[in-house]
A and B are shown apart, each in its own frame.
Chain A
Amino acid sequence: MKRNGFSFVGKLAIAVILAGAVMRAQVTLVNMVPQARSAETNQDSEPTIDVNPANPLQVAGSAFTYDDLTGTKMLGPNAPIYVSLDGGLTWNVVMNVPSFAGAPFPTGDITLHFSETTKGTTNVLYTGILHAPDFNMRVLRSPDYRLPVPMAVLDTRVRNVDQPHTQAATVPSGPDAGKDRVYVGFNNGFGGVHPQTATVDFSLDAGIGAPVFNLALIEKRSTGTGGQDGFANVPAIHPDGTVYVVFYGWRSRTPATISDVVVVRDDKWATGANPFTDLIDAGDGVAGKRVVTGILIPFTSMGQQRTGASNLSIAVDPRNSARVYIAWADQPKGTTNQTLHVRRSTDRGVTWSNDLLTVPDAISPALAINSDGKVGFLYQQLAGLATAPAPHWETHFVRTTDPDATTFDSPGLLLANTSASAPTPRFQPYLGDYDHVVAHDRDFYGIFSASNFPDKANFFPGVIYQRFVDWTTHTLFADAGHQRRVPISIDPFFFKVAEPAREPALQYAAKFVCGKSEGGVVAPGTYFTAINVHNPLEAPIEFRKKFAVALPGEKAGRVTKFFPAKLGPDEAFEIDCPDILRKAEAKEPFLKGFAVLESDTPLDVVAVYTAAGSTGRVETLDLERVPPRRNEQPQNRPDLIPVPAVTGGFCRVQSNKLLVTVKNQGATDAGASVTTVDFGAAGSFSEPTPPVPAGTSVDVLFPLPPNCLSCNFKITVDSSNQVDESNELNNTATGTCSLG
């Protein structure tokens, strides 16, 4: 019966949370090929990405990109990575991955990851590659990923090695604080070199001059007639030292490849004598939990992309290392294509859910979890198999919508919907054996490859191309003058999903009175406050609390920072006067004010007040149930507008270009957006617009059509509707330029 009393509040709170979840996230989608490579026709497939944890404006990406524009052979000794310095709005290509001049490909498989170690103005980047042309696995390090400086080779592994999946972290505290730890899951010695091949190459101090790398064989079972493990071995690190790895444990290979999906775990950074053996499967007592057994790995092709080659992903909740999600691909009975599955564990991999999500006809699963525990899942699905004249690749990004992160907003964001038949593949993988997504704080940053055919209908609204493009005729050009046409090809696309900043849904303000009063404000005596907090839900919750001191004489006292708090299912705790006095850093013997609790889920908050007089014995007792207050801040939003010239018009020309000033007159900062100027028949131009802090402006330049003797135009700020504004009706302005 007790729970019934809270069911309505609970539903209300969850409804509030869901309402928050459907608030518009700001989505940025950018074709990553830089403007200076507009003539590029490479097949830039199989991308990965990472964000500098110390500076999210710094983003690194990789793909099968040559140093030249035609993808025939490597011209120089170094292959490129993609470099952004503005959070992904614009991209550079920088040659710094050791390759080989004349090599027929730039690198084999490549993945990259920043550590938390800052060198100068950026963080150390670790990269795992299959080196061209020998295909040896190399672990690389760059102190500054932005520079065209060859990365240092830290480790080399040879003889049938494959798919280095690179993760890095820096020990945050303890005796090893500051050490970079790098874990590269890879397939070591396939094809008969070793009978078990699921392996992690790791260093416990990768930041030093000559780091030591160790091999850990993580497959502890027989691979039977499989003769080896699957190709992908993917690690995930939690800063508390927990390291998970997921891999395909092959069990037989005749007549088809049958596999388990296995998760191993190490609880202490793999520092022990037997690394990655902390998760024991209760079924056979062997290290490595078999999440699913006996699945069929399909080696087929769909939409010109091979299947079965990678298709594993893992992500650990940054708030709690016990919460871990995996995704894999298999071919269920009765199907002809590959199907993706997402499952999760909340007990460090010991037990696993059923499928939280199942996606048929899909490839390249990629998971990430943000700082709120929200799960993002990227995949590419072959759609239109039965209905459309030609199947097409849909790139989806779905996110969880519930506090427990088990329900996805499928089909989520449709980032791209591109041809599955054009362009013609040059090689496999066509789109990639994997794509990638990571989280930084609340935001998700992802990367995928797709046809660059320039049709805005194929992409999420507001897509940005750095290439020279004519959107009207759907043509790529090598030059600004649109004289040299460029054939379509596969390009890497960056996306960012900025979760809307949202205050916790519920706030509780409980009065506290603590300490010995000599009188004057309240009666002399000793006052006690005990604030009892109960979690009425059947799931663990997190919330936060702060203390606002109230001073006599209508003076405001100090307000503490928020302190995090957790409660398990049905658990309760008490905030009492010693806690309050300590957290408020009170020097006074008597303190009054409010304890403020903020939570996304409902709480039972009951304050108990007692007071003792001169006898020291309780003389008053009072209980107060503290009601929740809903946070609503409808006007607390940015508001973008086009700003006219002092003359009142909008024709302002600078360097033969139209100057548009975008102002944020709202109360909060605006994220990145897109501004569009439509010259009617003379064309429409869209330009990325950087974030605009509240009360400030930015200038954006647009090309003027040739022979602009009397050009009418319409300016639209936030033309792709990326910014959730307090006023969406003041985004446009019209003008005329007469330059004759």
Chain B
Amino acid sequence: MAYRLTFLIVLTLAQPSVALQQPPKNPAPTPAPSVASMAGESNIIFRGTVSKLQASNVDAVAARPNTAVVHMAEMFEGAETAGDFTGQDITVILRQPQSVKAGDNLVFFGNVVAYGKSIAVQEAGHVSGNSAASSRDQIAQAVQRRPERELQKRLARANLVVTGKVVSYKPVTEKEGRSPSSEHEPQWFQAEIAVESTEKGTAPGATVVAYVPLSDDIRWYRAPKLEVGQQGVFLLYQMEIPELKTTGLVPETTADVQPISERDRIRSLVKQTR
């Protein structure tokens, strides 16, 4: 693996700005992350040629020792979510100044941190573009595995995972007829799920009660909307529900209601998380 990334400074993606503001003069060496690791934490992956050092083509990102303008040749990941910039110049905020040279052909891993007339990408790392062919498979695999990893994280966090069928779905009527306490009021519905099998945790009985917000407010609109007869694998999280003055099991997003065809895969993932 022909990494050009030799010495990584101690920076995290959560602090991209440190690199923007004060690139360290004597960075401490850190192990080079793997392609899979970088791909896993990056929402944009592309191959490009460094065209100008200490430069920027995004107004909000000033040219500094750790910025470079890169001509993007091909995009492996991120076109749908960040936009397709193939054939265009973009700005890369390097993890380490002087880690690239003008004319270098590299595969960059990172996340978009600013949009203007172009984009600025906070680099997670880069590898030689000449090894793009060998890296491509690893990148593809890492990208393909991303949904699975996200599901795995959700499964690890869920208190109860059951396969079952919604047998009743009705509003919690505690405040029926009353105007809302907040524009973000969840409008709780109560779903009774007949448990066919328990994939994680301990179901309290043959049925499980889940609380589901029906609201279309920005806070809740991504929550799953259920219907009687719906079958699936339900990932449920124990939460405080202040509006009802209780705690209950809640599916947070649509990703927490998986089709029943996913049961075997979910069982396998649950085993891996143990």
The 8 Å CB contact of A77, one of B14, B115, B181, B222, is B14
> Could you tell me the distance between the alpha carbons of A77 and B15 in the complex, rounded to whole angstroms?
10
CA of A517 to CA of B37, assembled, Å: 90
Flag whether B30 is at the interface (Cβ < 8 A): no
A121 to nearest B CB, angstroms?
A: 10
Is A580 close to B, CB under 8 A? no
Q: Give chain A's interface residues, CB within 8 Å of chain B.
A: 34-39, 64, 67-70, 73, 75-78, 80, 83, 85, 90-96, 102, 104-105, 108, 130, 133, 135, 146-150, 159-160, 162, 187, 190-193, 227-228, 231, 253-257, 297, 299, 306, 308-310, 425-429, 433, 466, 478-479, 484
State whether A38 touches B83 (Cβ < 8 A).
yes
CA distance A194 to B177 in the complex (A): 21
CB distance from B181 to the nearest CB of A (A): 4
Contact with A along B56-82 (1 / 0, CB 8 A): 001111000000000000000000111
Interface 9-mer from B165-173, B195-203, B211-219? B211-219
**List of B residues within 8 angstroms of A95 by Cβ:** 112-114
Whether B183 contacts A37 by the Cβ 8 Å rule is no
Contact A306 B183 (CB under 8 A): yes
Set of chain A residues within 8 Å of B185, measured between Cβ atoms? 191
Tell me if A425 and B182 are in contact (CB < 8 A): no
Contact B17 A92 (CB under 8 A): no
Tell me whether A92 and B116 are in contact (CB under 8 A). yes
> What are 27 sample pairs from A and B whose C-beta atoms fall under 8 A apart?
A34-B116, A35-B116, A36-B119, A39-B83, A68-B81, A69-B82, A76-B43, A80-B115, A85-B59, A92-B114, A92-B116, A93-B114, A94-B113, A95-B112, A104-B221, A104-B253, A105-B221, A133-B252, A146-B60, A147-B17, A149-B16, A160-B181, A190-B181, A253-B179, A254-B178, A299-B179, A309-B183
- Residues from chain B with a CB closer than 8 A to the CB of A75 are 43, 81, 111
Residues of B within 8 A of A73 (CB): 222, 253
* B265: interface (CB < 8 Å): no
Question: What residues of chain A lie closer than 8 Å to B243, measured between beta carbons?
Answer: 191
Task: Name which residue of chain A comes closest to B61, CB basis.
Answer: A148
Our pick among A64, A253, A428 for the contact of B178 (Cβ within 8 Å) is A253
CB proximity of B187 to chain A, nearest CB, Å? 11
17 further interface pairs, Cβ-Cβ under 8 Å (given A231-B183, A433-B183): A69-B83, A90-B116, A95-B113, A95-B114, A105-B222, A130-B219, A135-B219, A147-B17, A147-B21, A160-B181, A160-B242, A192-B242, A253-B178, A254-B178, A306-B183, A428-B217, A428-B218
Chain A contacts of B116 at CB under 8 A? Answer: 34-36, 90-93
> In the bound complex, do residue A93 and residue B115 qualify as a contact, i.e. CB atoms below 8 Å apart?
yes
Bound together, the chains give a CA A547 to CA B146 distance in angstroms of 74
- B side interface size, CB within 8 A: 55
Give every chain A residue within 8 A of B15 (Cβ-Cβ).
149-150
Contacts A160-B242, A231-B182, A425-B216 known; A70 to B21 CB distance under 8 Å?
no
**A192 close to B83 (CB less than 8 A):** no
Best-buried of B18, B118, B181 by chain A (most CB within 10 Å)? B181
Of the candidates A147, A149, A193, A427, the one whose C-beta lies within 8 Å of that of B221 is A427
- What's the minimum C-beta distance from A257 to chain B, rounded to whole angstroms? 4
Q: Is B184 an interface residue (CB 8 A)?
A: yes
Separation of A90 and B58 alpha carbons in the complex (Å): 11
CB of B180 within 8 A of chain A?
A: yes
Among B82, B118, B185, max chain A CB count under 10 A is at B82
Q: Roughly how many angstroms separate A231 CA and B245 CA in the complex, as a whole number?
A: 20
Q: Report the bound CA distance from A69 to B115 in whole Å.
A: 11
Q: How far is the CB of B105 from chain A (nearest CB, A)?
A: 23
Are A148 and B60 interface neighbours, CB within 8 A? yes
Task: For the complex, give the distance between the alpha carbons of A93 and B112 in Å.
Answer: 10
Residues of chain A within 8 A of B242, CB atoms compared: 159-160, 191-193
Asked whether B117 is an interface residue with its Cβ less than 8 Å from the other chain, the reply is: yes
Residues on the A chain within 8 Å of B182, using CB = 160, 162, 187, 190-191, 231
B262 close to chain A: CB less than 8 A:
no
Residue B92 is within 8 A (CB to CB) of chain A in the complex: no
The verdict on B106 contacting chain A, using a C-beta distance below 8 Å, is no
Q: How far is the CB of B182 from chain A (nearest CB, A)?
A: 5
